[in-house]
Amino acid sequence: MRSREGIILLLFTLAAVITNQFIPLYSDESYYWIWSKKLALSYFDHPPMVAYLIKMTTLFGDSAAEIRMSAPLLMAGTAYLLYALAKRAYGEKTAIFVFYIFLTTLMIQGASTIITPDIPLIFFWTLTLYCAYRYIIEEERNYALWMGIFGGMLLLSKYTGILLLISILLTILLTKRSLFKDKYLYAAIVLCLVVFSPVIYWNYLHDFLSFKFQLGHGIAHGDEKAFRSKEFFNFLGAQLLLLHPLYILPLFYFMFVQKRELFERKNLFFLLPFLFPLAFFTYFAAFKQANAQWAIPAYLSGVILLGGYLARRESKRLIIAAALVTLFVTLLIKTPLGDTIKPVKNFKARTGKIENFKEEIEKLQLDINKYNYLIIDDYHGTDVGYYFGKYDNLLVLAPARFSQFNIWRYEELGISMDSPVKTLPKLGKMIYIGISDLHVWELDQLLGKGKVLMSEKKQVGGRVMSLYAVEYSN
Write down the pLDDT at residue 379.
94
175: left (phi over 0), alpha (psi -120 to 50) or beta: alpha
Three-state DSSP at 105 gives: coil
CA 384 → CA 164, 275, 280, 311, 377, distances in Å?
36, 40, 36, 49, 9
Cα-Cα-Cα-Cα torsion 201, 163, 68, 25, nearest 10 degrees, comes to: -90
Least confident of 14-18, 89-93, 132-136, 182-186: 14-18
Q: Which residues touch 148 (CB under 8 Å, ≥6 apart)?
A: 187, 188, 189, 190, 191, 192, 195
Q: Are 64 and 104 in contact (CB under 8 A)?
A: no
Cα-Cα-Cα-Cα torsion 16, 18, 21, 25, nearest 10 degrees, comes to: 10
- Judged on CB neighbours under 10 Å (0-12, 13-18, 19+), 258 is middle
Q: pLDDT tens digit string along 410-439? A: 999 999 999 999 999 999 999 999 999 999
Across the range 253-260, mean pLDDT stands at 77
Write down the pLDDT at residue 461.
65
Q: How many CB atoms lie within 10 A of CB 278?
A: 18
CA atoms within 13 A on the CB side of 294: 24
Write down the pLDDT at residue 115.
96
Write down the pLDDT at residue 465.
85
Across the range 172-179, mean pLDDT stands at 95
Across the range 204-212, mean pLDDT stands at 95
Write down the pLDDT at residue 351.
63
Nearest residue to 373 (alpha-carbon basis) of 333, 313, 315, 413: 413
Across the range 151-174, mean pLDDT stands at 97
Cis status of the peptide bond prior to 420, with omega within 30 of 0: yes
> How much of the chain, in percent, has pLDDT values that exceed 70?
95
Instruction: State the pLDDT confidence band at 241, using cuts at 50, 70 and 90.
Output: confident
Q: Give the single-character DSSP code of 60.
A: S
Q: pLDDT tens digit string along 51-78? A: 999 999 999 999 999 999 999 999 999 9
pTM over 0.85: yes
- The amino acid at residue 360 is E
**Beta strands 463-473 and 451-460, pairing class:** antiparallel
DSSP 372-440: SEEE-SSGGGHHHHHHTT--SSEE--SS----HHHHHHHHHH---SSSS--------EEEEEES-HHHH
Residue 102 has pLDDT above 80, yes or no: yes
- Judged on CB neighbours under 10 Å (0-12, 13-18, 19+), 462 is exposed
Across the range 456-461, mean pLDDT stands at 80
Nearest residue to 55 (alpha-carbon basis) of 42, 44, 41, 70: 70
Please state, rounded to an integer, the average pLDDT across all residues of the chain: 92
